[in-house]
């Protein structure tokens, strides 16, 4: 299965959740800054984020092939080299699971795996995009602060290498071809 087919498969599972179910929008944060101790000493955290809804964690990452970078994972599955940091409740979703699945499919190309960029279009940008659609709320400023600083200063270009993945290709977090 390619990434688009996996997204379609997981969205179908999401659609199977009863429309009457109340869905909370949760942001799961994983701290990457233990790997980047210089940034931590400056009080700047480096985070991977994902949105948890209906028992599924939905995130975004880079790929080396065509297709979406949106993927589903088991909630609170800690991606290497990160550690779980905290969960933020953004409140109830304004959409039911069928509407959420349709929204993800409609927007899958906006978050293609090849368009991932650690500073300009990363997992935190996706989590905020989805959170704003579902709950109307933005992520706390600190979640993507390092990318905002990097984009303004034109630096942090080699941060991916420090984290152990190619620039432009995010960490292979939570992806598998065998589903959740």
Question: Rounded to the nearest 10 degrees, how much is the dihedral formed by the CA atoms of 158, 161, 166, 167?
Answer: -10
Is there a domain that residue 169 lies in?
no
Tracing tokens 């993927």 back to the chain, one arrives at 71
Number of domains comprising the chain: 1
From its phi and psi, is residue 67 left (phi > 0), alpha (psi between -120 and 50) or beta?
left
Is there a domain that residue 179 lies in?
no
| Residuewise pLDDT in 10s, the chain (180 residues) | 788 899 999 999 988 888 888 899 999 999 886 655 555 555 577 889 999 999 999 999 998 889 999 999 999 987 777 889 999 999 999 999 999 999 999 999 999 999 998 888 999 999 999 999 999 999 999 898 877 777 776 655 555 554 454 444 454 444 444 444
Cα angle: 115, vertex 126, 87; to 5 degrees: 145
Angstrom distance (rounded) from CA 88 to CA 110: 25
Angstrom distance (rounded) from CA 72 to CA 173: 10
Is there a domain that residue 88 lies in?
yes
Is there a domain that residue 84 lies in?
yes
Q: Is 65 a catalytic residue?
A: no
Of the residues 11, 48, 97, 125, which is catalytic? 48
Residue range(s) defining the domain that contains residue 61: 3-163
What's the CATH number where 15 sits? 3.90.1720.30
Angstrom distance (rounded) from CA 75 to CA 39: 27
pLDDT in the model for residue 88: 98
Sorted by sequence, the CB contacts under 8 Å of residue 43 that are 6+ apart come out as none
Is there a domain that residue 51 lies in?
yes
**Per-residue buried b or exposed e for 150-176, using 16+ beta carbons within 10 Å of the residue's own CB:** beeeeebeebbeebebeeebbbebbbe
Is there a domain that residue 176 lies in?
no
Of the residues 10, 11, 97, 123, which is catalytic? 123
pLDDT in the model for residue 61: 92
Token pair belonging to 83: 């550690």
Q: Is 10 a catalytic residue?
A: no
């Amino acid at each position: 299965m390619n990434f688009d087919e996996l997204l379609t498969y997981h969205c179908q599972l999401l659609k199977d959740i009863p429309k009457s179910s109340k869905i909370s929008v949760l942001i799961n944060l994983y701290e990457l800054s233990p790997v980047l101790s210089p940034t931590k000493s400056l009080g700047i955290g480096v985070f991977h984020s994902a949105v948890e809804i209906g028992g599924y964690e939905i995130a975004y990452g880079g790929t080396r092939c065509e297709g979406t970078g949106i993927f589903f994972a088991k909630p609170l599955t800690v991606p290497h080299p990160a550690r779980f940091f905290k969960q933020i409740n953004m409140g109830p979703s304004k959409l039911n699971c069928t509407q959420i699945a349709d929204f993800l499919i409609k927007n899958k190309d906006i978050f293609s795996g090849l368009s991932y960029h650690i500073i300009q279009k990363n997992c935190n940008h996706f989590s905020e995009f989805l959170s704003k659609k579902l709950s109307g709320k933005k992520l706390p400023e600190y979640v993507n602060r390092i990318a905002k600083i990097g984009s303004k200063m034109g630096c942090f270009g080699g941060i991916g290498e420090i984290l152990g993945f190619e620039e432009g290709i995010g960490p292979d977090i939570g992806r598998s071809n065998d589903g959740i």
